């Protein structure tokens, strides 16, 4: 009798060990899956609010506006007029001043500055800053990261950002790089984007934020006309757009530059 009882206990033990983990509704695996699904649903809703397929299909953007550089939260000067041209995914051209005689061109991993002195390679630190911001840009995260293998989405609950009730979502790629999005719970539009990175020189972690505001529709795409950047909690720049157009068929030649050549 004792022998049969021992066999029964052994059989029950084996059965318990082979029962699928998801059979329990409170199991962490099930919870993780539900969390990821909720995060994806909110991100999908945000993409639809931005314009859906029209947003995901943007080929180029032309912007006009005024840019302000700040130091310790205070503007440096009265701001400068700019024209910005962007061709997805890695071509940028920005022209400053009324004469449009200060130009920055970024094409792939190359950067150039064009002034009356001619065309020169962009300052290495400025280039590194630009490439990092582009790598973590909102449209790159939504159009590139989300379709890469190994991407993970995490819903981190509701919070408040820029005096708005938001859903907080973190997107992490297979390289363990992460971007946190703060999405307006009412309009479903992005309010804020933040990411951190470690400086290779001093090994310190830095945080960069972008705040999006003053949304308007431009050719079926909901666009923030005010963009504010922060570095480690300190405001560094603001851009106020006055005009935005999409898909103008910008030529690749607009993003070409030859170092040492005279200014155009």
Three state DSSP letters for 53-103: HHHHCCCEEEEEEEEEEEECCEECCCCEEEEEEEECCCEEEEEECCCCCEE
Is the Cβ–Cβ distance between 168 and 157 less than 8 Å?
A: yes
pLDDT of res. 23: 37
Tokens linked to 46: 């945000």
Confidence at residue 81, expressed as pLDDT on a 0 to 100 scale: 96
CA quadruple 24, 25, 31, 32: dihedral sign:
positive
Q: In this structure, what DSSP letter does residue 252 have?
A: G
Q: Which two three-digit tokens encode residue 245?
A: 């157009």
User: pLDDT at position 256, please?
Assistant: 96
* Region 25-255: CATH code: 2.50.20.10
Q: Is 142 helix (H, G, I), strand (E, B) or coil?
A: helix
* The residue to which tokens 């005009």 are assigned: 243
The residues spanned by each domain of the chain are 25-255
What's residue 6's pLDDT? 44
Closest by alpha carbon to 55, among 134, 139, 116, 179? 139
Place of tokens 């989300």: 146
Pairing of strands 80-87, 110-115: unpaired
| Contact predicate 260/119, CB 8 Å | yes
End-to-end CA distance of the chain: 98
Per-residue pLDDT of the chain (264 residues; tens, 9 = 90+): 444 344 333 443 433 333 333 334 445 677 889 999 999 999 999 999 999 999 999 999 999 999 998 765 556 667 899 999 999 999 999 999 999 999 999 999 999 999 999 999 999 999 999 999 999 999 999 999 999 999 999 999 999 999 999 999 999 999 999 999 999 999 999 999 999 999 988 889 999 999 999 999 999 999 999 999 999 999 999 999 999 999 999 999 999 998 875 544
What are the beta bridge partners of residue 161? 164
Tokens 């973190």 map to which residue?
A: 170
């Amino acid at each position: 009798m004792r022998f049969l009882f021992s066999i029964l206990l052994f059989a029950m033990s084996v059965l318990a060990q082979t029962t699928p983990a998801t059979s329990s509704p409170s199991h962490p695996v099930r919870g993780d899956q539900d969390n990821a699904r909720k995060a994806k649903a909110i991100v999908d809703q945000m993409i639809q609010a931005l314009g859906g397929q029209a947003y995901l299909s943007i080929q180029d953007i032309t912007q006009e506006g005024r840019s302000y550089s700040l130091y310790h939260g205070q503007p440096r000067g009265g701001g400068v007029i700019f024209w910005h041209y962007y061709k997805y995914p890695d071509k940028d051209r920005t022209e400053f001043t009324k004469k449009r005689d200060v130009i920055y061109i970024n094409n792939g991993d190359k950067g150039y500055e064009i002034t009356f002195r001619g065309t020169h390679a962009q300052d290495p630190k400025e280039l590194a800053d630009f490439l990092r911001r582009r790598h973590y840009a909102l449209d790159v995260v939504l159009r590139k990261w989300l379709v890469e293998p190994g991407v993970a989405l995490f819903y981190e609950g509701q919070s408040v950002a820029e005096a708005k009730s938001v859903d907080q979502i973190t997107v992490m790629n297979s390289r363990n790089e992460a971007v946190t999005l703060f999405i307006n719970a009412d309009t479903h539009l992005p309010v804020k984007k933040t990411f951190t990175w470690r400086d290779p020189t001093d090994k310190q972690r830095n945080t960069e934020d972008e705040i999006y505001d003053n949304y308007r529709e431009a050719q079926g795409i909901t666009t923030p006309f005010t963009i504010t950047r922060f570095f480690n909690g300190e405001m560094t720049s603001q851009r106020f757009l006055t005009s935005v157009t999409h898909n103008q068929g910008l030529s690749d030649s607009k993003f070409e530059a030859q170092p040492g050549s005279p200014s155009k």
